[in-house]
Amino acid sequence: DTAVSQTPKYLVTQMGNDKSIKCEQNLGHDTMYWYKQDSKKFLKIMFSYNNKELIINETVPNRFSPKSPDKAHLNLHINSLELGDSAVYFCASSTTSGSPYNEQFFGPGTRLTVL
């Protein structure tokens, strides 16, 4: 199936731990994103990578570090987890070649719960 996939789907962890979320897309897109959706369902961009280069870095704590080993993968590492980090994290991808309009396609999400 062509899609954006994320692992894990659920992540439950203790405050202070370090965790990673992985994202992969096989759509041939050149741009990938991390979004956070809070308990009020507001979807907010965190980071964006284009061809492995960071192009958007919104105001997020530096405990969050994205890494893009290649243009099909974008991982998110979170250090020293806090209660307020509990949310659903979505990965998305789009292509900037052939279309100027940036249609983004989302992965299934990772529900992070920090206890």
Find the binder of another protein among 25, 48, 68, 93 (CB under 8 A).
48
CB of 47 to another protein, least distance (A): 10
- Could you tell me if 83 and 114 are in contact, meaning their C-beta atoms sit under 8 angstroms apart? yes
Q: Does 94 bind another protein (CB under 8 A)?
A: yes
Can you say whether the dihedral through the CA atoms of 79, 81, 87, 88 is positive or negative? Answer: positive
Find the binder of another protein among 13, 19, 45, 67 (CB under 8 A).
45
Residue 43 dihedral angles phi and psi, to the nearest 5°: -100, 120
Q: Does 96 bind another protein (CB under 8 A)?
A: yes
